[in-house]
Amino acid sequence: MSILSSVPTSFRLSSSSPASVATLMQSSRLAADVLQGSGLTQSATSVQTVANVSDLLTNVSLAADLARVTASSSRPPESGQGDGDPACITFSEFAARVRAAPTPTRSLPVTQIESFEKSSNTGPLQIGHQYVVATVLHPKGPTYARFDMFLLSDAPGVVLEGPCLLRVKMSDDKHALTKGRRLLSMVSLGQGPTVTVTTGPSLDALAALVDIIEQRVGRGFGMLGRNCAWMNELLMFGMARKFSSHWLRGEYTPEETMRRWMCGEIGVLEATTDCTHADPVGRWFARTSGTAVRGIQAFFTQRDQDRFLMQDDEMAVVMDAWTGYLPACVD
């Protein structure tokens, strides 16, 4: 019996194709380490090993969902498992696999966090799909993980809300995860003889934050609520604030905005809108509408279990809950 049979359904590998799981492991040093807990190894026999447990993967197939949805800025692309495109797992799978990994893997340093956007329009108010890429310092070289939040819907046209897909792609090829996208923000320790990676976040810390974000999704994807921009707020800016003393010794962009955010001089809405909108009109509109919409949501959901909070209040809740992870360590 496969070891996967004892893992909760929500934590099992999401790909319906044995080959795509093997591709994930072959394309990423990090994926190969994290998925060791599944009994899968990066060897010539890995494809056959996965094929032997493919019947266990049919109930958690996300590949079929990805193939059916219509491509848009808030929906996963139809070619999510296409040629040359890294395979993927879910947020919950990623968090569970990291927690189950050996201590040296869990303690791998995260040396850079970046947010990107695929713009869907031009003009003062640019609105597009946002995602986050983390650089992990693996003993064999840097490797990368991309975090996306998508709306899952077959309905044509504009869909304002529905179930969501929280997806992680891992690859040793950063270009494969970021090609053709606009960099919004970045924090990095940089390079040099005085660089100390062990004062920053570990892979375990990243997984713990990802797990908190998934738990806070609640009612699902909402174009005016919990969406890719919301995920970017918590993941990108949460990592920057939690380990601010670490990142402030390195490189960050936009320099003034990220410095002020990490030093606690501005709120998360101001920080995210400054990074996203270069035009002052776009910034003003995004801040004004973001404050108004979230305020209305917070008022009408204050008695709900998954109630909305104002942006800075939610960030504070996440920071308080984000504990119990292993520190970064280099063997």
Whether 136 is in a domain gets the answer yes
**Residue range of the domain that includes 221:** 70-76+87-321
Q: Tell me the backbone φ, ψ of residue 276, rounded to 5 degrees.
A: -85, -40
Whether 158 is in a domain gets the answer yes
Whether 15 is in a domain gets the answer no
User: How far is Cα 146 from Cα 48, in angstroms, rounded to an integer?
Assistant: 27
Whether 33 is in a domain gets the answer no
Please name the residue ranges forming H helices in 72-218.
Answer: 91-100, 103-106, 174-178, 203-215
Q: Could you tell me if 297 and 181 are in contact, meaning their C-beta atoms sit under 8 angstroms apart?
A: no
The total of structural domains in the chain comes to: 1
Whether 23 is in a domain gets the answer no
Q: Tell me the backbone φ, ψ of residue 119, rounded to 5 degrees.
A: -70, 140
Whether 282 is in a domain gets the answer yes
Whether 60 is in a domain gets the answer no
User: How far is Cα 216 from Cα 223, in angstroms, rounded to an integer?
Assistant: 16
Q: Tell me the backbone φ, ψ of residue 133, rounded to 5 degrees.
A: -120, 130
Q: Tell me the backbone φ, ψ of residue 330, rounded to 5 degrees.
A: -115, 120
* Greatest Cα pair distance in the chain: 60
pLDDT in tens, the chain (331 residues): 222 222 333 333 444 355 566 677 778 888 888 876 555 444 333 333 333 333 323 222 222 222 222 234 556 654 333 334 556 899 999 999 999 999 999 999 999 999 999 876 555 555 689 999 999 999 999 999 999 999 887 666 667 788 889 999 999 999 999 988 899 999 999 776 667 888 999 999 999 999 999 999 987 888 888 999 999 999 999 999 999 999 999 999 999 999 999 999 999 999 999 999 988 898 999 999 999 999 999 999 999 988 999 999 999 999 999 999 999 998 7
Whether 309 is in a domain gets the answer yes
